[in-house]
Structure 1
């Protein structure tokens, strides 16, 4: 039975209604990366910081600081439950049982997320986290989930009960129309990647149930561990830009820097196999990464495309496999950058049969309320929480879209030189 979302939202008007109620209300890739970091770089000191790319959204004007602190403080009280630990220790993930090792699980079971620093600056919040990398990295997803949902609540609390019912009826209709269009495409493989910038946990859960019913086996799972556990779905995810960003920040020379993205994958290969061996090549430019890539990477299962022109990046990947003597039809490409139905359909039609393809559908699955309230107060926006330093050295991300670049300008220029990144085409960052 599905949740009466309007009633639940209308009833969410008491002093503290926790948004994140579990340490596994997070993306699966975070836990996979945390285990790799725990084994390979446990003593690296990192700082994560909130970055609102959509400066026109005045988060500090919309979200009460006391309420935000209460939500973050509550997260610091969370511990892994016995049932959650049992699921992580014993469940089958990507065809492999006991993916999470005993030493990592013992650490995770005792984990308390480290303190946070919160300060209002103008109409924005500065929110940061510092400490040992394996622990601090687990703040990213719950912090973003809290801020996104508090922003949603700020708009919803102005609405009466029947207004809320109509709002959610319209949002449900919009999503179901998308499901029907996806169903008409054919043999599509699609997963929910929408935890970080969802409208709310309850809405993400509803979206996952709708996708499961509407797409059947073509819906392959969710990145959200808690929903995967409760709904008996596959937990989906691999790795993210965070790994090469931190490894690169630790490099002591330009030569070390050039090799850092490949050292990340050497460590990953020792940790994981099979379908978890998916390359994310765009941190410092996809084309240059593949041109310099060692031969052993060609045996990996696939590539995830997360910035720039997705079709161009896919063509680059296919040509790379061909040049290295690999059969692209046996390889996997995962598209995951700001997708919605039109682009999913276009990419499917262009690459179906040439390569195995899958889609990680994020914000525009779990937070598409565009145009459904006055002044578009619920429209999604681009909010991230990134590693900004490692052992006191700044991190850098270039991406295939210069509008997603981050880091000090002098370091950005250095990284461009080391990685041979030339002119790039700027693209609007929606989410």
Structure 2
């Protein structure tokens, strides 16, 4: 049976956001829905197997060793949070799974501080179970190691820094672990860490991440689209006081973000993360923004994380060299280059319920219009409010 073995087998930014939610929005609620972008066909009984794997997650709990590693590596997080996480248990009743023929439905609902941890592990389980139940054979362990080694050695020659961002759409836990082990072994000075906290602990590397789109999506539900980016970052800085300073820029398009990313925030945050749209155009806009605010772009960093492979990284790093700082987070290209097609799936927040408010649809306006998520009515309203034309 496919199961998770650690509560920390999740992306770092889920925990950093959870801490912020516990502090600032403990009564807020959220809903999430699975989106099968790749129109994958799920075999009979898949939903039941996924349900069993999710039921087993109720047994996961933070160990003393995990608590020690996590707290020592994140001194900017209050000790009370690690005590909270020690007592946290996944509640499978928050997840509703249905299968109709080859279609799979996954819905999550509950307090935001609780449901925030479900997204990444459920996606990882769906991928691993899919390959198992459709009898797709991957390449050998030796081949997985060879590919990961070749990639990190090429990145080393390029002189860039690379992190693993590949939990959610990995081939399997085993492959993910093998890849991280290989990247660490051959990527000294180039491979700087993993978004997966469990694997960061196993391999004694740095857990990496800040926040995700849902942080800003919730702020839009509570404060409106025009204030979402600004207040999202103000609240983040309230909690982290300058740590975890890479701001995600594309929840409501980059152009809107930079209008709300004022001089104070631009100086406070270490840089921005690129996650959709043209990477070189994004670099230009970021550099122009810093220059216009009297800030040396070389004192800031862009973390690129949108569907990267070697060719894209080489192109971006060549373009940005000498203009602005840069680093790269690589996901599926590391953890699902195993001889089978990678899945194209997401699990997104669709509705938020602030403490003083009501259930509100939330959306994301990507820099790639075809990647907008949410209902059409809310997307149209947001575009009108923010004066966005596709």
Is the shorter-chain TM-score for this pair beyond 0.5, marking a shared fold?
yes
Q: 1:382 corresponds to which residue? A: 344
Q: 2:115 corresponds to which residue? A: 136
1:279 to 213, 231, 247: 247
Q: 1:402 corresponds to which residue? A: 369
Separation of aligned partners in 2, 1:249 and 1:350:
37
User: Contact 1:145/1:200 (CA < 8 Å) preserved in 2?
Assistant: yes
Q: Which runs of 5+ in 2 are unaligned?
A: 354-358
TM-score, scaled to structure 2: 0.94
Q: Pick closer, same or farther for the CA change 1:355–1:45 going to 2, 3 Å.
A: same
SS in 1 for 2:118: helix
Show structure 1 runs of 4+ deviating over 6 A. Answer: none
1:363 to 332, 340, 346: 332
Separation of aligned partners in 2, 1:87 and 1:25:
14
2:15 to 10, 31, 46: 31
Q: 1:321 corresponds to which residue? A: 290
User: Contact 2:96/2:108 (CA < 8 Å) preserved in 1?
Assistant: yes
Q: Pick closer, same or farther for the CA change 1:343–1:62 going to 2, 3 Å.
A: farther
Separation of aligned partners in 2, 1:122 and 1:422:
39
Separation of aligned partners in 1, 2:68 and 2:35:
35
2:49 to 67, 82, 97: 67
TM-score, scaled to structure 1: 0.85
Following TM superposition, by how much is the alpha carbon of 1:158 offset from its aligned partner in structure 2, in angstroms?
6.2
Q: 1:9 corresponds to which residue? A: none
Q: 1:4 corresponds to which residue? A: none
SS in 1 for 2:206: coil
User: Contact 2:152/2:191 (CA < 8 Å) preserved in 1?
Assistant: no
Separation of aligned partners in 2, 1:263 and 1:418:
17
Map of 1:187-266 to 2, 5 A cutoff?
187-251=159-223, 256-266=224-234
Following TM superposition, by how much is the alpha carbon of 1:241 offset from its aligned partner in structure 2, in angstroms?
0.3
Q: Pick closer, same or farther for the CA change 1:158–1:244 going to 2, 3 Å.
A: closer
Q: Deviations for 1:339-391, whole angstroms, at most 9, x for unmatched residues? A: 0111011111111221111000011110013xx3xxxxx21122111111012
User: Contact 1:332/1:358 (CA < 8 Å) preserved in 2?
Assistant: yes
Q: Deviations for 1:123-159, whole angstroms, at most 9, x for unmatched residues? A: 221111111101101001110110011112234x465
Following TM superposition, by how much is the alpha carbon of 1:17 offset from its aligned partner in structure 2, in angstroms?
4.1
User: Contact 1:332/1:355 (CA < 8 Å) preserved in 2?
Assistant: yes
Separation of aligned partners in 2, 1:421 and 1:285:
9
2:304 to 298, 323, 335: 335
Separation of aligned partners in 1, 2:361 and 2:59:
30
Query: Are 1:124 and 2:103 an aligned pair?
Result: yes
Separation of aligned partners in 2, 1:279 and 1:62:
42
Q: Deviations for 1:225-260, whole angstroms, at most 9, x for unmatched residues? A: 001111110111111101011111223xxxx33112
Q: Deviations for 1:202-246, whole angstroms, at most 9, x for unmatched residues? A: 111111121112221111111110011111101111111010111
User: Contact 1:282/1:307 (CA < 8 Å) preserved in 2?
Assistant: yes
Query: Are 1:47 and 2:26 an aligned pair?
Result: no
Separation of aligned partners in 2, 1:167 and 1:84:
31
User: Contact 1:193/1:362 (CA < 8 Å) preserved in 2?
Assistant: yes
Following TM superposition, by how much is the alpha carbon of 1:182 offset from its aligned partner in structure 2, in angstroms?
1.6
Separation of aligned partners in 2, 1:403 and 1:324:
32
Separation of aligned partners in 2, 1:386 and 1:396:
9
Following TM superposition, by how much is the alpha carbon of 1:168 offset from its aligned partner in structure 2, in angstroms?
3.8
User: Contact 2:165/2:194 (CA < 8 Å) preserved in 1?
Assistant: yes
Q: Which runs of 5+ in 1 are unaligned?
A: 1-15, 373-377, 424-431
Q: 2:356 corresponds to which residue? A: none
What is the root-mean-square deviation of aligned Cα atoms in Å? 1.6
Q: 2:73 corresponds to which residue? A: 92
Q: 1:312 corresponds to which residue? A: 281
Following TM superposition, by how much is the alpha carbon of 1:63 offset from its aligned partner in structure 2, in angstroms?
6.1
